[in-house]
Amino acid sequence: MSTPDSFSGQRPVALVTGAARRVGRAIATELALRGCDVVIHANTSLDEAQETLDACRSRGARALIWACDLAQSNALPAAAGELARSLPRLDVLVHNASVYGPSPLAEVTPERALADFAVNALAPLLLSKVFAPLLRSSPLASGGAIVALADIHVLGRPRRDFVSYAMAKAALVQMVECLARDLAPSVRVNAVAPGVVAWPEHGYESDPSMQEAYLRRVPLARPGTPADTAKAVVFLALDAAYTTGTVLRLDGGRWLT
C-alpha cells in the first residue's frame, strides 16, 4: 500500500476499485473534485494508478494507492481488513473493477466462470462486508454509500456469447438490492448500469464497424464517456440522499431499443 498522504479524517474518504485508468480514474478524480480523499485500488497497473493519484492530488485531495488482486478471494478479506484498520473513516465504496470479455457457451470453462464471478461479484460482496462498519459510521448527512458498476445488458437485454460475464454481473445487481436492505438505514447501496461508456481497447468491440452498428441502436447516437459515468456514480454516492436499491441506467436510451 502506497501512503504518500495521510488522511486526516476531516474530509470524506472514498475507495474506488479498478481506479488506475479509464472509467475508474474518472470516478476517482470526480470524487476528489467533490471534496473526497481517495483510496485508489489497482492490481498490476501501478504506474497508471500513480497518474490517477497525481490527478486526485491536483484537485486538492489526499490519496493513496492500494495494490490488491481482487481475484484472490481467500486472501481478500485480510488485505481489506488491513486497509480498513489504517483508515480514519470511509464514506464511499465504489465497486468499479471488472473482468470483461465474451464467453461463448462452447468455450466456457469452470476456471473462466469462476474468474468472472470472483472479480465481478464475490470481491464486491467481500469488500462490502469488510468495510460495512466504517461505512455505517460515516458522519455524512446522507450516510455511507456503496455504488457498484453493473451493465444494462444484464438487466433483461442479454447479449449473445457473454453468458459467464453476464451471470456474474447479474449477481452483482442482486447484491446491490440485498445490501440496500441489509445495510439500511445507515448505508445506501445503488448501482450504475452503463451501456457503452468506454469502448474495449482490444477484441472485436474495438472494431469501428462493430461500434457503428451498436450506436445505430442508441437513440442519442453516440457512446457515453467515463466522465458521464463518474458524474452518475458521484450523484448516487453523495447527492441522492433518499435513494437506495436503485440501478441507474446510463445508456443513451439503448434500453428502449
- Residue 38 has a pLDDT of 98
**Among the CATH numbers 3.40.640.10, 1.10.287.70, 3.40.50.720, 3.30.1330.40, which is that of 13-199+226-249?**
3.40.50.720
SS (H, E, C) 6-36: CCCCCCCEEEECCCCCHHHHHHHHHHHHCCC
Region of residue 239 (phi > 0: left; psi between -120 and 50: alpha; otherwise: beta): alpha
Nearest alpha-carbon partner for 80 in 117, 131, 15, 119:
131
- Residue 5 has a pLDDT of 57
* pLDDT > 70 fraction of the chain, expressed in percent and rounded: 97
For Cα atoms 190, 95, 176, give the angle at the middle one, nearest 5 degrees: 35
> Which of the 8 DSSP states describes residue 191?
E
Burial class (CB in 10 A: 0-12, 13-18, 19+), 255: middle
Tell me the pLDDT band of 84, cut-offs 50, 70 and 90. very high
pLDDT in tens, 156-212: 989 899 999 999 999 999 999 999 999 999 999 999 999 888 777 777 677 788 788
- Residue 204 has a pLDDT of 65
Q: If you average pLDDT over residues 69-92, what whole number do you get?
A: 98
C-alpha to C-alpha distance for 172 and 153, rounded to whole angstroms: 13
Nearest alpha-carbon partner for 97 in 6, 27, 11, 8:
27
- Residue 234 pLDDT > 80: yes
pTM score over 0.75: yes
143 against 213, higher pLDDT: 143
CA 68 from chain centre, in angstroms, equals 15
Nearest alpha-carbon partner for 123 in 66, 56, 38, 162:
66
Residue ranges of the domains in the chain?
A: 13-199+226-249
If one counts every other C-beta atom within 10 angstroms of the C-beta of residue 74, the result is 7
The residues pairing with 38 across neighbouring beta strands, listed in sequence order, are 14, 63
Query: Terminus-to-terminus CA distance in the chain, angstroms?
Result: 45
Choice among 55-59, 63-67, 76-80, 202-206 with the minimum mean pLDDT: 202-206
- Residue 3 pLDDT > 50: no
Nearest alpha-carbon partner for 154 in 114, 199, 106, 191:
191
Q: Would you name the residues annotated as active-site residues? A: 22, 151, 165
Q: If you average pLDDT over residues 210-217, what whole number do you get?
A: 84
- Residue 104 pLDDT > 90: yes
- List, as one string, the DSSP characters of 198-238: S--SSSGGGSHHHHHHHHTT-TT-S---HHHHHHHHHIIII
Residue 136 amino acid letter: R
